[in-house]
Amino acid sequence: MTIRTRLIVLLLTALLGLALVAVFGYRGMLSSGASMAEVGEQRMPAVIALLDARSNFNRTLLRNLQVSVRATDNSLESRKLFADTFKGKQQARQLFDDALKRYAVFPRSEEENKLWHQFGPLLQEWQRTDKSQDELLDKLAKGVTPEEQYAIFREFYANAQVQLPVVEGMDELLRKMVEVNDRLAQTSVEQANAASRQSLHWMIAVNVFALLLLLANGTSVLAAVLRPLNRARRTVLAIAESNDFTQRIDVRNKDEVGQMVSALNNLIGRVQESFREIQQSQADIRLAVSGLSAASEQLASSSAQQNSSTGAIAGSVQEMTGNIHGVAEHADAAMQLSLEAGEVSRQGCQVIAQTTDGMASIADSVTAASKVIEQLGQESRQISSVVQVIRDIADQTNLLALNAAIEAARAGETGRGFAVVADEVRKLAERTAKSTADIGVMVTAIQNAANGAVEEMRQVVEQVGEGRALASGAGQHIAEIEGQAQRVADAVADITRILKVQGEASEAIVHHVHTISDMAKQNHATSNETADNARRLDQLAARVGETLQRYKV
C-alpha cells in the first residue's frame, strides 16, 4: 500500500469518525429536542392551563364563601360587597373558562381523555347550579328585605350543598389531570436525559474507535516513512564515511519512499560506474603517456644523431670549399684537383644520402610521435566527456538533495530524518563535483600539453621536410661537381669560372647545413619538452589514480 493510500485511509477514518459522532449527536439532539418540545410546548402549557383553571375555580368558590358570611347583614355595605363579589365571580369564571379552552386544544393522553370525559358532566352540572347562585347573588346585590334575604340564603345554602360533591369531583379531576401532565412531563424529561446519555455513550464509543483506528493508521504511516528513511540515512552515512559505492540501500516497499530509495540506489550505481570508467581511462592515459615518453626519448636520440651528421657535413663542405679555392689558385694542378674534387664529390653524395635517410627516419619518428600525441588528445577529450557526465550527475544529485530538503522542511518534524538524508546526499554530490572539477583541470592541462606537442611535432615534420629538400639539392649540386670534375680535363679554360660557381654552391651548402643543424637542435629541445610534458601528464594521471583509490567501486 502506498503512502498516499495510507494517508487517504487515515483522512477517511478521521472523517468517518467525525461523521458518526455528528450523526449520533444529531440523533440525540433530535430525541432530546422532541422530548423537551413535548414538555415545553404541550405538558407545561397544559399544566399551567389546568393550574389557572383550578385557581380561578377556587376563586369562584371563595366568592361564594364570602357571600355566606354576610347572610344576616342587610346593610348598604353588604349590598356593595355582594355586587363586588358578583363582579369578581364573573371575572374568575371567565378566566376559568379561558383556561379550560386553552387546555382543550392540547393533545391528551388516553388517561387524560378519560379524566376529561369525566370532568365534562361535572362541569355542566356545576355551571347549571352556579348559574342559580349567580341569580341569587344578583338579587342580594340589588337589595331585598331581611325576610327575602333569609329565604335567598336558605336557597343559596341548599344549592351549595348540591354543588359540594360536584365541586369536590371537579377539583379532584383537575388535580389528577395536573398530576398526569406532570408525570408525563417528567417521563419526557427522563426520555430526553436517556437519549442524551445514549447519544453521549455512542459518541464516546465512536470517538474511542476512531482514535484507535487513527492511532493504528498513523503508526503504520510513520513506520512506512521512517523505517526506509532510517535505512537510507544509515547507508548514505556509511557511503560518505567509507567512500564505498558498492553498498546499496535495502528496498522493502514499493511506495513513494521506496521509489525514492530505488532512484537513490540507481544514482549510486551510476556514480560507481562512472568511477570505474574514470579508473579505466586513467590507466589508458598512463599507458599512452608511457608510449609518448618512449617516442620523445627516441626523437631526442634521433635529433642528436642528426646534429652530429650535420656537423660532419658542414666540415666536409668547408673542406670542399677550401679545395675549390686552392684549385683556383693553382690552375696548373687543375686535373689533379678535379680528380680530388670528384672523389670528394662522391664522398659528399654518400654523406648527403646518409643525411637524407636520417632525416627520413626523423620524419617517420616525428610523424609517429605526432599520431601518439593526437591519440592522447582524443583520450583526454573522452575523459573530459566522462568528467562532464560525472559533473552532470553530481549537479542532478545536488538538485535532488535540495528538493528533498524542501519537502522535508514542508513536512516539519516528520521530515527531519529525511532532511538529514538530503543534506548528506548534497554533501556527497558536492564532494563528487569537487573531485570531477579537479579531474577536469588535470585533463585540461593534459589536453593543452598534448595540443602543444602536436603543434611542435607538426613544425618538426615541416622542418625535416625542408631539410630533406635541402639535402637533395646538395646532392644534386655535388653530382654536378662530379660531372664538372670529369670534364675538367677537356675544359681547363673554364675551370676558374666553374670553380667559382662551385665555391658559391659550397657556401650555400654550408649555410643550409648550419640551418639543418639548428633545426636538429630545435628538434632535440622539442623532444625534451615533450618528454617533460609526458612525465607531467603521468604525474597528473597518478594523482587522478590516487584520488580514485579513495573510493571503493
Confidence tier at 316 by pLDDT (50, 70, 90): low
Top-confidence range, 200-204, 340-344, 432-436, 549-553 = 200-204
Domain contains 236? no
Which helix (H) or strand (E) segment is 524 a member of? Answer: helix 495-549
Instruction: List, in order, residues 6 or more apart from 360 with CB less than 8 Å away.
Output: 468
Which helix (H) or strand (E) segment is 30 a member of? Answer: helix 3-38
pLDDT number for residue 30: 64
Domain contains 248? no
Confidence tier at 290 by pLDDT (50, 70, 90): confident
> Is the CB of residue 117 less than 8 Å from the CB of residue 77?
no
Between residues 389 and 131, which one has the greater pLDDT?
131
pLDDT number for residue 140: 78
* Identity of the residue numbered 129: T
Of 173, 200, 227, which residue sits at a domain end?
227
Give the residue among 215, 198, 202, 209 at the shortest CA–CA distance from 17. 209
Per the structure, the count of domains in the chain is 2
In order of 34, 116, 479, 481, the CA distances from 491 in angstroms are: 156, 180, 17, 14
Res. 216: pLDDT tops 80: yes
Q: Are 58 and 147 in a shared domain?
A: yes
pLDDT number for residue 121: 92
In order of 25, 226, 402, the CA distances from 345 in angstroms are: 130, 96, 83
The arithmetic mean of pLDDT across residues 521-549, rounded, is 73
Q: Are 270 and 364 in a shared domain?
A: yes
Res. 50: pLDDT tops 80: yes
Coil, helix or strand for 244?
Answer: strand
Q: Are 206 and 269 in a shared domain?
A: no
Confidence tier at 436 by pLDDT (50, 70, 90): confident
Q: Are 275 and 349 in a shared domain?
A: yes
pLDDT number for residue 493: 66
Burial class (CB in 10 A: 0-12, 13-18, 19+), 215: exposed
Domain contains 328? yes
Q: Are 474 and 527 in a shared domain?
A: yes
Between residues 392 and 72, which one has the greater pLDDT?
392
Domain contains 243? no
Confidence tier at 340 by pLDDT (50, 70, 90): confident
Instruction: List, in order, residues 6 or more apart from 537 with CB less than 8 Å away.
Output: 285, 289, 292, 376, 445, 446, 449, 450
Between residues 461 and 413, which one has the greater pLDDT?
413
C-alpha cell at 368: 609517429
Distance CA 81, CA 78 (A): 5
The arithmetic mean of pLDDT across residues 328-343, rounded, is 68
* Identity of the residue numbered 306: Q
Beta-bridge partner residues of 244:
552
Distance CA 520, CA 499 (A): 31
Distance CA 162, CA 75 (A): 28
Between residues 541 and 71, which one has the greater pLDDT?
541
CATH number (domain holding residue 542): 1.10.287
pLDDT digits 0-9 by tens, 136-189: 777 777 777 777 777 777 877 777 788 788 889 989 999 999 999 888 888 877
The arithmetic mean of pLDDT across residues 11-24, rounded, is 75
Res. 222: pLDDT tops 80: yes
Give, as one character, the DSSP assignment of residue 551.
S
Percent of the chain clearing pLDDT 90 (strictly above):
4
Distance CA 30, CA 24 (A): 10
Q: Can you give the residue range of the structural domain that contains 202?
A: 3-227
Mean pLDDT of the chain: 76
* Identity of the residue numbered 77: E
Confidence tier at 312 by pLDDT (50, 70, 90): low
Confidence tier at 40 by pLDDT (50, 70, 90): low
Res. 410: pLDDT tops 90: no
Res. 28: pLDDT tops 60: no
Q: Are 221 and 269 in a shared domain?
A: no
pLDDT number for residue 512: 66
Distance CA 394, CA 271 (A): 8
Domain contains 515? yes
120-134, 203-217, 242-256, 455-469: least confident range = 455-469
98-107, 198-207, 231-240, 319-328: least confident range = 319-328
Coil, helix or strand for 552?
Answer: strand
Domain contains 252? no
> Is the CB of residue 338 less than 8 Å from the CB of residue 488?
yes
Give the residue among 366, 324, 268 at the shortest CA–CA distance from 497. 324
Distance CA 320, CA 503 (A): 8
> Is the CB of residue 521 less than 8 Å from the CB of residue 310?
no
Q: Are 286 and 199 in a shared domain?
A: no
Q: Are 102 and 47 in a shared domain?
A: yes
Distance CA 488, CA 482 (A): 10
pLDDT number for residue 447: 72
CATH number (domain holding residue 181): 1.20.120.1730
Between residues 75 and 242, which one has the greater pLDDT?
242
Between residues 310 and 503, which one has the greater pLDDT?
503
The arithmetic mean of pLDDT across residues 442-462, rounded, is 73
Confidence tier at 503 by pLDDT (50, 70, 90): low
Res. 331: pLDDT tops 60: no
Q: Are 195 and 298 in a shared domain?
A: no
pLDDT number for residue 95: 92
Domain contains 233? no
Burial state string for 258-270 with b = 16 or more CB within 10 A and e = fewer than 16: bebbeebbebbeb
Q: Are 186 and 136 in a shared domain?
A: yes
Domain contains 26? yes
Q: Are 102 and 210 in a shared domain?
A: yes
Beta-bridge partner residues of 552:
244
Res. 474: pLDDT tops 60: no
pLDDT number for residue 147: 77
